[in-house]
């Protein structure tokens, strides 16, 4: 199978490319700048998905059987813009254009790396996640519009991902800066009072390739384990060489203050974050968990070694000379 991967040099895309090659598939990546961390067997096409003309996009997609959209989604918008329109133009429209091009080229399968916030919205509609959070709304809209852009012969699998653990050359796990921001020297760490799903980057790569091979068509939450935040941060801190002496649990009001502080920092940088602070804080004070049996049953993907992935995710806390 010949597969086009958008975002093939990113934190997760890097592993998807290697998993595809290991399974004997031909791989093309679409990237903005010349890559330095890809195997020689990979075909490289340079271009920004948001700027490519339809003719150029058709040329790039031609001859491929599958498409994987592994590029990172925007979570903040420039201040002063229509935030809903920005997230649509950035997170939704390029995906729609790419899958429409794939449909014209008779590409019959696609995988999109989505968000577990969509799972939570589907399973707990009373949370009103899409209504209150422009970023989450764009991720749900992304999946809906992507499916509307293809014909009935094209499968679209959306992998709904929680926090991802692991390592990629030149990239950092999202968990590392989170731990940095919540650490208190060597004394201890703050932790959200709820629980969250976590997945390894290797398991995501395996799930993406399995979804292509099976022509999976649906929404698939991908999870290695569900952990209390205190447990997760303790494991990360210990892996970094600084096991915490104490863990303080933050409740929703304190978490809200943290996210509002982050919002202030983003505004100073000219950005508006795409989350509702009060609701985001309440989520992290509750259980944001996923069912691991869905990926196992429908994609044949077994949970990965989370311990090793957390070891790899741990931030470097060694003294700097």
State the Cα–Cα distance between residues 75 and 262, nearest whole angstrom. 13
State the Cα–Cα distance between residues 160 and 118, nearest whole angstrom. 7
185 pLDDT exceeds 80?
A: no
pLDDT at 316: 62
| Mean pLDDT in residue range 300-312 | 92
DSSP E strands in the chain: the ranges are: 2-6, 26-31, 43-46, 66-69, 76-78, 109-115, 155-161, 163-165, 183-184, 188-192, 195-200, 218-221, 225-228, 246-250, 271-273, 287-288
39 pLDDT exceeds 50?
A: yes
**Does the domain spanning 2-167+199-223+289-304 belong to CATH 3.40.50.720?**
yes
Is 44 exposed, middle or buried, given 0-12, 13-18 or 19+ CB atoms closer than 10 A?
middle
The whole-model pTM stands at 0.94
CA–CA distance from 222 to each of 181, 254, 292, 307 (Å)?
Answer: 26, 29, 7, 17
* Site of tokens 């399974």: 23
Is 229 exposed, middle or buried, given 0-12, 13-18 or 19+ CB atoms closer than 10 A?
buried
DSSP string, 241-295: T---SEEEEE-HHHHHHHHHHHHHHHHHTTEEESS-HHHHHHHHTSEE---THHH
Buried b (16+ CB within 10 A) or exposed e, 252-288: beebbebbeebbeebeeeebbbbbbbebbbbbbbbeb
* Site of tokens 């096409």: 45
320 pLDDT exceeds 50?
A: no
State the Cα–Cα distance between residues 284 and 287, nearest whole angstrom. 7
Of the two residues 183 and 28, the one the predictor is more confident about is 28
Tokens found for residue 312 = 């790899």
pLDDT tens for each residue of 60-81: 999 999 999 999 999 999 999 9
Strand order in the sheet with 218-221: 43-46, 26-31, 2-6, 66-69, 109-115, 155-161, 218-221
| Mean pLDDT in residue range 277-284 | 86
10 pLDDT exceeds 50?
A: yes
Cα–chain center distance at 71? 8
State the Cα–Cα distance between residues 232 and 143, nearest whole angstrom. 29
Domain boundaries in the chain? 2-167+199-223+289-304
186 pLDDT exceeds 80?
A: no
pLDDT at 122: 94
Dihedral over Cα of 209, 212, 216, 220: its sign: positive
State the Cα–Cα distance between residues 247 and 188, nearest whole angstrom. 6
pLDDT tens for each residue of 90-122: 999 999 999 999 999 999 999 999 999 999 999
What average pLDDT does the structure give for the chain? Answer: 91
Q: 164 and 174 in contact (C-beta within 8 Å)?
A: yes
134-148 vs 93-104: helix axis angle to the nearest 10?
A: 10
List the single range of 28-37, 57-66, 90-99, 135-144 with lowest mean pLDDT: 28-37
């Amino acid at each position: 199978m010949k597969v086009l991967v958008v975002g093939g040099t990113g934190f997760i895309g890097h592993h998807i490319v290697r998993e595809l090659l290991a399974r004997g598939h031909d791989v093309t990546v679409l990237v903005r700048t010349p890559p330095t961390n890809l195997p020689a067997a990979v075909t490289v096409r340079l271009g920004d998905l948001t700027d490519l003309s339809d003719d150029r996009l058709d040329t790039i997609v031609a001859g491929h059987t599958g498409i994987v959209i592994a590029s990172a989604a925007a979570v903040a918008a420039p201040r002063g813009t229509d935030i809903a329109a920005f997230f649509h133009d950035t997170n939704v429209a390029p995906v729609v254009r790419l899958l429409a091009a794939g449909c014209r080229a008779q590409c019959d399968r696609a995988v999109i790396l989505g968000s577990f916030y969509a799972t939570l919205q589907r399973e707990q509609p009373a949370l009103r996640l899409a209504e209150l959070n422009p970023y989450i709304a764009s991720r749900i809209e992304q999946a809906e519009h992507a499916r509307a852009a293809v014909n009935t012969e094209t499968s679209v699998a959306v992998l709904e991902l929680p926090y991802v653990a692991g390592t990629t050359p030149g990239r950092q796990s999202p968990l590392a800066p989170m731990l940095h921001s919540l650490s208190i020297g060597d004394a201890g760490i703050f932790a959200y009072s709820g629980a969250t799903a976590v997945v390894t980057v290797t398991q995501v790569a395996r799930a993406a390739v399995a979804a292509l091979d099976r022509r999976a068509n649906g929404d698939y939450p991908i999870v290695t384990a569900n952990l209390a935040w205190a447990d997760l941060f303790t494991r990360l801190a210990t892996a970094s060489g600084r096991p915490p002496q104490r863990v303080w649990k933050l409740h929703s009001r304190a978490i809200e203050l943290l996210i509002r502080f982050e919002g202030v920092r983003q505004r100073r940088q000219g950005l508006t974050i795409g989350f509702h602070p009060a609701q985001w804080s309440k989520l992290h004070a509750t259980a944001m968990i996923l069912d691991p049996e869905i990926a196992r049953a429908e994609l044949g993907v077994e949970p990965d070694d989370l311990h090793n992935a957390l070891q790899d995710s741990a931030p470097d806390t060694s003294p700097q000379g």
